[in-house]
Structure 1
Amino acid sequence: MAERVAACTACHGKEGRATADGYYPRIAGKPETYLFNQLQNFRDGRRQYPTMTYLLANLSDDYLRQIAAFFANEHPPYPPPAPTGATAATLERGRLLVTEGIGARRIPACAACHGAALTGVQPAIPGLLGLPRDYINAQLGAWRNGMRRARAPDCMAAIAHELTPEDINAASSWLSAQPAPANPAPAASLPAPLPLSCGSMTQAAGAVR
């Protein structure tokens, strides 16, 4: 399988650990169902990136599951976070948004879904640490603009539509500046129900189609 995913690691780095270009994300160690969902989303047009769509266009669900399983079981070390040029005020705004949310605007904390350690939650919620700032910005912007979608109800789209550009910059600046914890594995479960209904999680709880 390592030879078959050479096209993936050409962009996502050895073992899927990401590269230093600031855009391609780490996929190593992400929950298997999350990776499978995203491969389907690229193949089926819910996510927009021509190279990914081209690579996946003719691959079956079974093959996508094999790819997802391969990278979910890769666990290379996390690099130290890249230096940030954000101000202290921006970083504090990002910390509050990520860890507490903005109740007055009905924006839940990132940690409410992605786990208290921000390393993701099984079976289908990704970690947010170890991702480049530019990648986080691009994905939140894509959700705001309708260029990235997930199965309905699309909880991330609903949240992203409430975020201002300043919110996105603050959250991405703070997240990208955080080191990975000693144990970066996704949590087995959340301590409380999700604050919003998410189609990808609803599907993950049943049979994967």
Structure 2
Amino acid sequence: MKKLIAGVVLGVSLTAMAHGAGDPQAGEQNAAVCAGCHGQGGQKPIMGNYPKLSGLGETYLHKQLVAIQAGDRAIPEMTGLLDGKSDQELQDLAAYFDSNEMIVNQASPEGLEQGEALYRGGNMASGVPACAGCHNPRGQGNEPAGYPMLGGQNADYVIKQLKAYRDGTRATDSNSAIMMDVAAKLTDAEIEAVANYVSGLN
């Protein structure tokens, strides 16, 4: 009986860890200001070069909020918005946005095949690995590793971030180093193609 109870307790603990430490309901109460740019629930940003926050992964979102608050990831539009928030409040915001469903865009037919080939198989000639290796074949990301969901993200935002990785202006953590290495090998045309592809991936 003791083993059974211990197993249940361990299972519940692991489930809690897997779903993160944030409270989505508490996060929703602090998310009103975010809706001005990212849309209700982080689902429909007012501009294409702003990210959708819905469903990205709580681990990833929390890490980015911490980096923005600390000034390690400079986003002028976010200046001062996270000042004074506790780590728990940031965790709650991450949990709230992650709890909302990503609304997938309609990808453009132009360059779609090139984008799919890059996402699924990379470019062996230039040493670009397949995006699917880290971000999941369906674009769902990898929550434990902190790799974000890409399926449905705005193409303009993906283009902006890949170029930021490529020129070294987005370098906030160990995952950034991986992306900087990948992006350094991508051409503008490849960046646009893969960004378009992931915007419609589900």
What is the CA deviation profile of residues 93-133 of structure 1, one whole-angstrom value per residue up to 9, with x for unaligned ones? 11111110012222111100000111111221111111111
Cα distance in 1, alignment partners of residues 155 and 46 from structure 2: 11
**Counterpart in the other structure of 1:34:** 60
Tell me the residue number matched to 1:92: 113
- In the alignment, the residues of structure 1 paired with residue 165 and residue 83 of structure 2 have an alpha-carbon distance, to the nearest angstrom, of 22
Match of 1:11 in 2: 37
Residue in 1 aligned with 2:158?
A: 136
- Preserved contact between residue 56 and residue 150 of structure 2 (Cα < 8 Å): no
> After the TM superposition, which of the residue ranges 28-37 and 59-68 deviates more from structure 2?
59-68
User: Structure 2 length as normaliser, TM-score?
Assistant: 0.78
Q: 1:179 to 1:160 in 2, by over 3 A?
A: closer
Q: Offset of 1:161 from its aligned partner?
A: 1.1
Q: Are 2:83 and 1:57 equivalent residues in the alignment?
A: yes
Contact 1:31 1:126 in 2 (8 A): yes
Pairing partner for 1:169 from 169, 187, 192: 192
State the shift of 1:45 in Å: 2.7
Instruction: Tell me, in whole angstroms, the C-alpha distance in 2 between the residues paired with 1:57 and 1:145.
Output: 28
Report the alpha carbon displacement of residue 162 of structure 1 after superposing the two structures with TM: 1.2
What is the alpha-carbon distance in structure 2 between the residues aligned to residue 58 and residue 158 of structure 1?
34
User: Alignment partner for residue 43 of structure 1, among 69, 81, 85?
Assistant: 69
- Against the structure 1 CA distance between its residues 47 and 12, is the aligned structure 2 distance closer, same or farther, given a 3 Å change threshold? same
Are 1:74 and 2:100 an aligned pair?
yes
**In the alignment, what sits opposite 1:156?**
179
Gaps (5+ residues) in structure 2? 1-25
How much does 1:48 deviate?
Answer: 2.2
Structure 1 segments of 4+ aligned residues over 4 angstroms from their partners: none
Q: Within the alignment, does 1:114 sit opposite 2:139 as a pair? A: no
Alpha-carbon spacing, 1:179–1:157, altered in 2? closer, same or farther (3 Å): closer
User: Which residue identity lines up with residue 142 of structure 1 in the other structure?
Assistant: A
Deviation digits for residues 23-46 of structure 1 (CA, Å, limit 9, x no counterpart): 222211221111001111212233
TM-score normalised by the chain length of structure 1: 0.75
Residues matched between the structures, number? 174
Asked whether the equivalents of residues 119 and 127 of structure 1 are also in contact (C-alpha less than 8 Å), the reply is yes
CA RMSD of aligned residues (A): 1.9
In structure 1, stretches of 5+ residues that fail to align are 181-209
CA–CA separation in structure 1 for the residues paired with 2:125 and 2:41? 42
Q: Is the 8 A contact 1:101 1:107 kept in 2?
A: yes
Deviation of residue 179 (structure 1)? 4.6
- Alignment CA distance shift 1:16-1:135 (3 Å): same
Question: Of the two, which has the highest radius of gyration?
Answer: 2
Q: CA deviation at 1:3?
A: 3.0
1:189 aligns to what?
Answer: none
